[in-house]
Amino acid sequence: MNNVTVVRGDTWDFTVTLVDPNGDPYDLTDCELTFTVEGLVSKTLGAGITIDPDGDPAPDPETGIAGITLDAGDTSAAPDRRTAYPYDVQLTTSTGEVRTPIRGLFIVVPDVTI
């Protein structure tokens, strides 16, 4: 389980490495990816998720690395108190296998400056 803490209303960029149960990276070639925070936000490949976001001109999908970007508005609806939401990153491989290699609690804490 991987817990993440963010400040409500902040823009947030992070990377995840998707690995199989043996610790080997998934090949993200021709895959589908979805990042979902239950009841708050969902991102998909090309709409908030990128493959191998290291800035190289050519992505390396076999590294299993994906970048996820949250905009300020994605967490602005969270209440004015620390709230934990279940989240996961789901992968559908090019062969149609569905895997959920990352899941945990997505914790949103209130911002002080508004």
Tell me the pLDDT tens digit for each residue of 36-55.
Answer: 999 999 999 999 999 876 65
Structure tokens at 63: 């590294």
Classify residue 75: in a domain, yes or no.
yes
The model carries a pTM of: 0.90
What letter represents residue 57's amino acid? P
| Amino acid 58: pLDDT | 58
Token pair, residue 38, equals 């239950």
The DSSP 8-state label assigned to residue 27 in this structure reads: P
Decide if 74 is inside a domain: yes
Which CATH number is 45's domain given?
2.60.40.3350
Asked, for residue 20, whether it belongs to a domain, the answer is yes
Q: CB-hemisphere CA count at 13 Å for 3? A: 7
**Considering the domain boundaries, does residue 16 fall inside one?**
yes
Domain range for 88 is 4-109
Q: What is the tally of structural domains in the chain?
A: 1
Euclidean distance between CA atoms 30 and 21, whole angstroms: 21
pLDDT digits (tens, 9 = 90+) for 53-78: 665 655 678 889 999 999 999 999 99
